[in-house]
């Protein structure tokens, strides 16, 4: 944390502007980072945060403005220049290289070598030290990164950043794939960095995190600094939301419509098991009901959804939709029965990210647009456009590549895909991961509207508040076991955490 009342700025950005194909991504950003502080950068998707981060990381260069390092004007023509200067960046999208080990990823690009040969033992030793510093001594430097969970891959990315001699660490949504306990460990690491005089730029959509970890805040909107250097302790949440969105947005969950006692059971899961991952999982979801899974990352929540969907073949138990049992391990049968999955990693697992919005939306429904072996592109585009309008997806351009949309709108593409297909059971894994406060409210409302229309919805979220706020019924899961099934209204966050901790300790 900051110790000097008037320290010299470590990094300053003055009047930064950046345009792409004539479109302004940044049009006047000011930022001042002090040594040893946690400076939170907030803003909705599209506010310019990613462009600013890439500018500081040497990926983009400003068209206007200047960057000062220790008061000296500097240029960052490439990422290596930023690292040499002392700036390391952890990007939101996992940047590990599958096929390489943990140690090879940590020292990628600055391998430890002597006489033209890589010193693998030394790299493994230093990797162990970095992992222990991050509270993950159990991770092996020799494990292949592709075998790790998203949360552990994030740890490897953080270790890589710390393997350099740095004065500034930029963290872009570092908690997005972490559970409650791992977020606490992340905050411990951040405090350790700042106590050593290293500054941290912390980008997050979770406003509660800045109260826990931040010193000052800069808010971006439409590529401009709406406020810079606001003290966390003196800035109320409603003011931050107003600065980000231009309006007052209450971060509340929409009111649930009571599920009739005689509502038909849409999804029935009985004693479902996947060897070594989870066992004896049973639950039902009625038409109009939202069921939530609460638990730590690695508890088996995502694997349960994937097994229900048929992406994993169950070792025991049964899944029935509308009373008809599904064959094990068949995605085709699940989709035909009206089941749709929005995966946690929407960019790598859910979307064909470089393709257009309309092609992503019609992906599971190609058959209905085909005639004599040819796709009816115009009909596809028209159907997707109608769904885009219903979901208020922005910008309303069906030909726009999905990669160019914000996280919230990418999530809407996945929802639109299954609605267009006629899905009756929606499985949503981390539906608001990496989504800003304004888009979160829209997605919460959409989920509730879908349930009110008679769909059955299952939601997995690492945020206990989100599970309790969205769901009618909650399953608390730890170590692959359902510890408790109860109405959401009967549980508190403390109840869930106590159950999870007891289940994990057992």
Cβ pair 457, 289 in contact under 8 A: yes
Cβ pair 467, 488 in contact under 8 A: yes
Q: What is the pLDDT of residues 423-471, one digit of tens each?
A: 999 999 988 876 766 677 778 888 898 899 899 999 998 888 889 999 9
Residue where a domain terminates, one of 164, 199, 222: 164
Tell me whether residue 407 is in a domain.
yes
Question: What proportion of the chain, given as a percentage, has pLDDT over 70?
Answer: 93
Cα 104 to the center of its chain, rounded Å: 25
Q: Output the CA angle 337-343-345, nearest 5 degrees.
A: 160
Q: What does residue 408 show for φ and ψ, rounded to 5 degrees?
A: -65, -40
Cβ pair 305, 458 in contact under 8 A: yes
Question: Which pLDDT value is given to residue 298?
Answer: 76
Tell me whether residue 259 is in a domain.
no
Tell me whether residue 379 is in a domain.
yes
Q: What is the CATH number of the domain that holds 460?
A: 3.40.50.300
Question: What proportion of the chain, given as a percentage, has pLDDT over 90?
Answer: 47
Residue where a domain terminates, one of 223, 249, 275: 249
Question: Which pLDDT value is given to residue 6?
Answer: 59
Cα–Cα distance for residue pair 321/436, rounded to 1 Å: 33
Cα–Cα distance for residue pair 210/198, rounded to 1 Å: 18
Cα–Cα distance for residue pair 443/393, rounded to 1 Å: 11
DSSP β-ladder status, 370-371 and 224-231 = unpaired
* 3-state secondary structure at position 129: helix
Tell me whether residue 188 is in a domain.
yes
131 and 187 in a single domain? The answer is: no
280 and 388 in a single domain? The answer is: yes
419 and 447 in a single domain? The answer is: yes
66 and 12 in a single domain? The answer is: yes
Tell me whether residue 254 is in a domain.
no
Tell me whether residue 256 is in a domain.
no
Of the two residues 33 and 258, the one the predictor is more confident about is: 33
Tell me whether residue 260 is in a domain.
no
Question: Which pLDDT value is given to residue 205?
Answer: 75
Q: What does residue 505 show for φ and ψ, rounded to 5 degrees?
A: -65, -35
DSSP β-ladder status, 224-231 and 216-221 = antiparallel
Of the two residues 194 and 250, the one the predictor is more confident about is: 194
Residue where a domain terminates, one of 126, 146, 164: 164
Sequence-ordered list of residues with C-beta below 8 angstroms from that of 441, at least 6 positions apart, any chain: 249, 250, 251, 252
Name the β-bridge partners of 144: 101
The tokens describing 111, both together, are: 């391998």
Q: What is the mean pLDDT of residues 358-383?
A: 79
Q: What is the pLDDT of residues 298-347, one digit of tens each?
A: 789 999 999 999 999 999 999 999 999 999 999 999 999 999 999 887 77
Cβ pair 38, 215 in contact under 8 A: yes
Cα–Cα distance for residue pair 404/51, rounded to 1 Å: 13
Q: What is the mean pLDDT of residues 344-356?
A: 82
Compute CA distances 335 → 27, 73, 282, 360, 369, whole Å: 45, 57, 21, 16, 17
Domain residues for the domain of 45 are 1-86+166-249
Cβ pair 96, 145 in contact under 8 A: yes
209 band by pLDDT with thresholds 50, 70 and 90: confident
Q: What letters, b where the CB count within 10 A reaches 16 and e where it falls short, cover 217-243?
A: bbbbbbbbbbbbbbebeebeeeebbeb
249 band by pLDDT with thresholds 50, 70 and 90: low
Cα–Cα distance for residue pair 81/57, rounded to 1 Å: 8
Handedness of CA 233, 239, 241, 244 (dihedral sign): negative
Cβ pair 263, 257 in contact under 8 A: no
Number of domains in the chain: 3
Cβ pair 230, 39 in contact under 8 A: no
Tell me whether residue 255 is in a domain.
no
Q: What is the mean pLDDT of residues 342-357?
A: 83
The tokens describing 110, both together, are: 């600055």
148 and 10 in a single domain? The answer is: no
269 and 369 in a single domain? The answer is: yes
274 and 418 in a single domain? The answer is: yes
157 band by pLDDT with thresholds 50, 70 and 90: confident
Question: Which pLDDT value is given to residue 56?
Answer: 95
Of the ranges 32-41, 92-101, 364-373, 413-422, the best mean pLDDT one: 32-41
- pTM for the model: 0.60
* 3-state secondary structure at position 391: helix
101 and 237 in a single domain? The answer is: no
175 and 136 in a single domain? The answer is: no
Q: List helix spans (H) across 337-480.
A: 357-361, 377-391, 407-421, 437-452, 464-470
Q: How many CB atoms lie within 10 A of CB 255?
A: 7
Question: Which pLDDT value is given to residue 32?
Answer: 96
Q: Please check the confidence at residue 185 and state whether its pLDDT lies above 80.
A: yes
Q: What is the mean pLDDT of residues 66-74?
A: 95
Question: Which pLDDT value is given to residue 243?
Answer: 85
Question: Which pLDDT value is given to residue 250?
Answer: 53
482 and 386 in a single domain? The answer is: yes
305 and 437 in a single domain? The answer is: yes
211 and 353 in a single domain? The answer is: no
Handedness of CA 483, 489, 490, 493 (dihedral sign): positive
């Amino acid at each position: 944390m900051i110790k000097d009342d008037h320290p010299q700025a470590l990094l300053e950005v003055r009047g930064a502007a950046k345009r792409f194909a004539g479109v302004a991504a940044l049009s006047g950003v000011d930022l001042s980072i002090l040594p040893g502080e946690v400076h939170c950068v907030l803003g909705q998707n599209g506010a310019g945060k990613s462009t600013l981060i890439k500018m500081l990381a040497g990926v983009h260069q400003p068209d206007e403005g200047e960057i000062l390092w220790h008061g000296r004007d500097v240029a960052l023509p490439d990422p290596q220049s930023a690292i040499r200067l002392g700036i390391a960046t952890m990007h939101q999208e996992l940047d590990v290289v599958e096929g390489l080990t943990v140690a090879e990823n940590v020292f990628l690009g600055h391998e430890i070598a002597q006489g033209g040969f890589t010193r693998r033992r030394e790299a493994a030793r230093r990797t162990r030290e970095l992992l222990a510093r991050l509270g993950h001594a159990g991770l092996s430097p020799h494990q292949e990164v592709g075998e790790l969970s998203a949360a552990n891959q994030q740890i490897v990315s953080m270790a890589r950043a710390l393997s350099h001699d740095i004065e500034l660490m930029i963290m872009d949504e570092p908690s997005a794939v972490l559970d409650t306990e791992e977020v606490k460990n992340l905050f411990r690491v951040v405090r350790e960095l700042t106590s050593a005089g290293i500054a941290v730029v912390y980008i997050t959509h979770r406003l509660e995190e800045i109260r826990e970890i931040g010193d000052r805040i800069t808010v971006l909107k439409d590529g401009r600094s709406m406020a810079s250097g606001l003290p966390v302790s003196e800035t109320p949440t409603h003011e931050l939301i107003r600065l980000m969105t231009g309006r007052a947005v209450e971060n509340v969950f929409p009111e649930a419509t009571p599920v009739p006692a005689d509502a038909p059971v849409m999804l029935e899961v009985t004693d479902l098991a996947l060897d070594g991952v989870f066992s004896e999982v049973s639950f039902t979801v009625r038409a109009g009901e939202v069921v939530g899974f609460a638990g730590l990352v690695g508890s088996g929540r995502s694997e349960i959804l994937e097994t229900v969907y048929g992406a994993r073949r169950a070792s025991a138990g049964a899944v029935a939709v509308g009373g008809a049992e599904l064959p094990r391990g068949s995605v085709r049968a699940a989709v035909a029965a009206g089941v749709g999955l929005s995966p946690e990693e929407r960019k790598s697992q859910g979307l064909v990210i470089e393709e257009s919005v309309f092609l992503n939306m019609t992906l599971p429904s190609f058959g209905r647009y085909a005639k004599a072996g040819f796709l009816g592109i115009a009909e596809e585009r028209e159907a997707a456009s109608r769904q885009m309008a219903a979901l208020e997806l922005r910008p309303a351009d069906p030909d726009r590549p999905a990669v160019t949309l914000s996280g919230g709108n990418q999530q809407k593409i996945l929802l639109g895909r299954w609605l267009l297909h006629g899905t009756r059971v929606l499985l949503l894994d981390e539906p608001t991961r990496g989504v800003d406060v304004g888009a979160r409210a829209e997605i919460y409302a959409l989920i509730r509207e879908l349930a009110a229309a008679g769909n059955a919805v299952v939601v997995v979220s690492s945020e206990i508040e989100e599970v309790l706020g969205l769901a009618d019924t909650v399953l608390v899961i730890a170590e692959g076991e359902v510890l408790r099934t109860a109405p959401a209204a009967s549980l508190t966050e403390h109840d869930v955490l106590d159950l999870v901790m007891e289940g994990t300790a057992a």
